[in-house]
């Protein structure tokens, strides 16, 4: 318990600001070591997956990326793979950076598609930084039940 007050000692008498508070500031390791820069975009790429009666729909927020920088693939074993790369902004020697929060680097997300996915009819569109991948569904054929007459 002696460690807890040390985190907040210099916060007494000030208003708590959740936007500037750095919870890992007093730990012995730098916060940047939690996630490497190469993987930071991978961690931050958010994708929603919803199922409609007609299709599986994936939506990914990819602000600032062009469709040429994103790749959508379906592997043989019914795995949808969405990948790409967000490039680092070029630095000018005269610039002074106060905060860097936007992710850069490669990202890769994979989803195993269900058996009813028509993997040969996948479509992808990109509009206003949102990638939408639509995977149509096959009608699930219900097994035909045949009644067997019991003799005897």
HSE toward the beta carbon, residue 62, CA cutoff 13 A? 30
**HSE-CB of 77 using CA atoms within 13 angstroms:** 3
Which pTM was predicted?
0.62
pLDDT tens for the chain, residues 1 to 152 = 455 544 445 544 455 555 555 555 555 544 444 444 444 444 568 899 999 999 999 999 998 889 999 999 999 889 999 999 887 777 777 888 888 777 778 889 999 999 999 999 999 999 999 999 999 999 877 788 999 999 98
Q: Starting from the edge strand earliest in sequence, which strands make up the sheet with 47-51, in order? A: 47-51, 55-61, 130-136, 123-127
State whether residue 53 is helix, strand or coil.
Answer: coil
**Beta carbons within 8 Å of 74's beta carbon, 6+ residues apart:** 80, 81, 113, 119, 122
Distance CA 27, CA 30 (A): 7
Contact indicator for 111, 49 with CB cutoff of 8 Å:
yes
């Amino acid at each position: 318990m002696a460690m807890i007050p040390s985190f907040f000692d210099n916060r007494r008498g000030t208003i708590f600001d959740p936007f500037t508070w750095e919870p890992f500031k007093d730990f012995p390791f730098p916060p940047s070591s939690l996630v490497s820069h190469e993987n930071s975009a991978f961690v931050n790429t958010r994708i929603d997956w919803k199922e409609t009666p007609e299709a599986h729909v994936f939506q990914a927020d990819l602000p600032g990326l062009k469709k040429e920088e994103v790749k959508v693939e379906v592997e043989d074993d019914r795995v949808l793979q969405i990948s790409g790369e967000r490039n680092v902004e070029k630095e000018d020697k005269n610039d002074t950076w106060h905060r860097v929060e936007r992710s850069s680097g490669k990202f890769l997300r994979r989803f195993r598609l269900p058996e009813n996915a028509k993997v040969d009819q996948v479509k992808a569109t990109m509009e206003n930084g949102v990638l939408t991948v639509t995977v149509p569904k096959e009608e699930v054929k219900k097994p035909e039940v045949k009644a067997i007459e019991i003799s005897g």
